[in-house]
Amino acid sequence: MLIKRSPNGIDLPFSSEITSREVYESRRTFIRNIAAGSIASGALLEMLSREAFAQGTTPKLAAKLNPAYSAMDKQTAQKDATHYNNFYEFGTDKSDPAQNAGTLRTRPWTVQIEGEVKKPMTLDIDSLLKLAPLEERVYRLRCVEGWSMVIPWVGYSLSELIRKVEPTGNAKYVEFVTLADRKQMPGVATRVLDWPYVEGLRLDEANHPLTLLTLGMYGEVLPNQNGAPVRLVVPWKYGFKSAKSIVKIRFTREQPRTAWNKSAPDEYGFYSNVNPNVDHPRWSQASERRIGEDSFFTRKRKTLMFNGYDVGSLYSGLDLKKNF
């Protein structure tokens, strides 16, 4: 094995392996503050998150696996799941989010819950982390372009939050509004979508136990490029329905106007359920490519109705070809 050495005979690390001066000095400041007892948990996690992003790691989250909501499929490698993403706020290429999302500040962070609820409230990220016991659930994620992943997400059913805010009898839908900050998100300066990114669900879909308010993945807090610090995961719908970096949850009487539905209503319906029988106008949805199964001889997988999840009762009597 040939090992390249420096001219003076001393092995030096690559520049990417060297802790930045900003991270090093902030760590020393943090240690001094710990000794003085003057650092709060939120500031601690913010420092850890910034350092972790710079070093390619993220803080851990304690969560027990919930086998009742976990697919038995082989999990996608963590590196693939965190480096092949759609997150247009950081660029339209799949590699852009991992390269550009280091600018996102995830603390302080609040989520405002408003609209047709009896108890509107604003929760910070620490309150969201403590709102219900965290679970790990292994969900399939199917994207409209024809690729899929299997990811161990960490969070709890969105219904836990819905129960606390007590929707009124007028609430029929739930709208999710995400962060749109040009200073932190370079993609927001483009006109690829009408910012901020907005998604929505019917109230019964939002209340389904599978709908996950997500705060982590692979036993760690969410990486920036995967929707930190809080996102949605709706496993029987195409991936763009799972809004990332949520800042507002609004309960409404009327169906929300969602980002992709406004941009291309003939291609992206409000429901966007995974359905092999309804093709996208520009490609078939009958099969998919599982990320990590990239061998030339590997056949594409057949797409499962509702991505393989038993949610058909939600749509009894609904024409899923018209309501795509």
Torsion of CA 199, 202, 207, 212, to 10 degrees: -20
pLDDT of residue 132: 98
Is the backbone of residue 247 left (phi > 0), alpha (psi -120 to 50) or beta? Answer: alpha
Give me the helices (H) in the chain, please.
Answer: 21-36, 41-55, 78-83, 96-100, 125-130, 159-165, 203-207, 259-263
Average pLDDT over all residues of the chain: 87
Summarised one tens digit per residue, pLDDT across range 206-236 is 999 999 999 999 999 999 999 999 999 999 9
Closest C-alpha to 206, from 174, 184, 170? 174
Cα(278)–Cα(167) distance, integer angstroms? 33
Distance (Å) of CA 186 to CA 89, 156, 248: 6, 30, 21
Summarised one tens digit per residue, pLDDT across range 296-313 is 678 899 999 999 999 999
pLDDT of residue 44: 52
* Residue 47 pLDDT level (bands cut at 50, 70, 90): low
Question: At how many degrees (to 10) do helices 21-36 and 41-55 cross?
Answer: 160
Summarised one tens digit per residue, pLDDT across range 124-161 is 999 999 999 999 999 999 999 999 999 999 999 999 99
pLDDT of residue 57: 56
Whether 99 shows a pLDDT value over 50: the answer reads yes
pLDDT of residue 298: 81
* 92 or 54: which leads in pLDDT: 92
Contact 140, 68 (CB under 8 A): no
Whether 25 shows a pLDDT value over 50: the answer reads no
pLDDT (average), residues 18-35: 42
Q: What are the two backbone dihedrals, phi and then psi, of residue 125, each rounded to the nearest 5 degrees? A: -65, -35
CA angle 53, 54, 58 (to 5 degrees): 30
* 49 or 294: which leads in pLDDT: 294
β pairing state of 110-115 and 246-252: parallel
Summarised one tens digit per residue, pLDDT across range 242-268 is 999 999 999 999 999 999 999 999 999
